[in-house]
Amino acid sequence: MNLGARRTILLVNDHPKERETIHRQLTEEGFVVEKATDYQSAVKYLDERVPSVVCLDLTLPRESGYDLCEYIRKQRRLQWVPILVMSERGSPEEMAHAEDVGANAYLKKPFTPERLLRYLSALLDGPQASRPSVRRLRRSDPPPS
């Protein structure tokens, strides 16, 4: 079975080349991928639809990915949606802050398509209560090769 079958990802990233690379990888796995380039376009999408998961970069024009996490968690109908932060930043403080504002997982760039799919699988499989937090996913992550 395809991991992405009938699942929609909102991909929020303002870097065109990176956004298109991730979009291609995810659509090849069967996901429906909706793209947003900033906080405002993501909020517009989220006001109209509920994705299976939100994948977002922390560095966005104007408002940050942290702001978007907070927005999502304040919306009753979006509270259960898993959030995967993808960032070149990776300090323990930034990861903790991402978790504090509602991220379920933190994927440090650069990453392989396999690692992205493993994180998405962990977020999408099982009930909300069993979804891993940022800290639990990082502890179980194999060392980079």
Q: What is the pLDDT of residues 99-139, one digit of tens each?
A: 999 999 999 989 999 999 999 998 988 555 445 455 444 44
Tell me if 135 is assigned to some domain: yes
Number of domains composing the chain: 1
Tens digits of residue pLDDT in 72-90? 999 999 989 999 999 988 7
Name which of 27, 35, 31 is nearest 10 in CA terms: 35
Question: Structure tokens of 141?
Answer: 């992550």
Q: Which of 57, 61, 56 is nearest to 40 (CA)?
A: 61
Q: Tell me, what's the pLDDT at 6?
A: 76
Single-letter amino acid, residue 101: V
Containing structural domain, residue 25: 8-140
Helices (H), the chain: 16-28, 39-48, 65-74, 92-100, 113-124, 134-140
More confident residue, 57 or 3: 57
CATH of the domain at 59: 3.40.50.2300
Whether residue 131 lies inside any domain: the answer is: yes
> Could you tell me the pTM of the whole model?
0.84
